[in-house]
Structure 1
């Protein structure tokens, strides 16, 4: 389908809905999403559209006191759980109404039209296929596919060695998976939204920035594997 809701794997991304902007530990965010989902099932009837508006008011009031990392990033209460995946509970695929997301803060046009930097990436399908082969949950997956900076550094590091994206994902797939696992193990940008934009000018080489970002100096075997990819 897309990088947001991949065909393979029991996971999906919900970073653009702002839930990871809440200053809560992962277990509390999981609990919050399950609570929303249960309340939604018990209170929303798509045949009575105003129940979506009522649900939003109630949830916004309940979640108002939760501290945020960035006060200007909205947290949409319509992000819920579907078995092991997360996604929009008022998406037209569920409601049967192409404009049902107008009951959200951003509205249908933005919710359906927004594409984060990684979704816009030319290699997004290659990343989708790679990550689909890994055993991930929706929270870990969200943290990976919303982290455009790590994707940028990985691709630029190998591009500087003359390796195309197609070759990178075909012949160095196992190395890419190791780098993703390194990101997870080092807890790099694991609770981010998809709205971050670069505020610094990159002056160092991508490889050096990647080494710094993933703390690869403590994993010399990975550095050696990157360098022998030339």
Structure 2
């Protein structure tokens, strides 16, 4: 078995207990969102492209959690050059822990993975899945376009968390701004609307603070990006 496929096989075995073979799978992505390897259904792959503008801002081990039908899609930075995406139906918090363990375990090998994957090999190995889609190079978003995209995102609490129980269920000392933000995540507010609401409430916070706070909450398995978001 080629070296790259052997590594992928080991990763799949390590994540076997959180990936449902009927409604789950994994993928590896380059920094620009290009699919390097995928066992995900094509409709789920398309959702990965919607969140491509957020990938460059992720640090190793940080993630984006996306609500999808039959579970969640977790995208985590695995190395400086690539990301891992896992579709699963398990508890998001425990899944994040297991994916983080895999990222740490194979950190050096992940750094080399992008350079050795050959799409022709992957098509041979992927069985009973949709044909591998290798996306072409796409134009990068300008800074104004990226900011517009980030402002349009809608986050939600991950069940069973609700605005009523999130403060008591999570043993974390929250700032006043974070508490107010959490208690309004059932309102389908965009990041821009949350930012405006916090400032209208007399809390002087920046857009960057709101984005970083939401990304930190996502990394802890508390919130996720709602599926309906579009670029």
TM-score by length of 2: 0.24
Greater relative contact order (Cα < 8 A, sep 6+):
1
TM-score by length of 1: 0.24
- Which one has a larger percent strand, Structure 1 or Structure 2? 2
- Which one has a larger percent helix, Structure 1 or Structure 2? 1
Larger Rg: 1
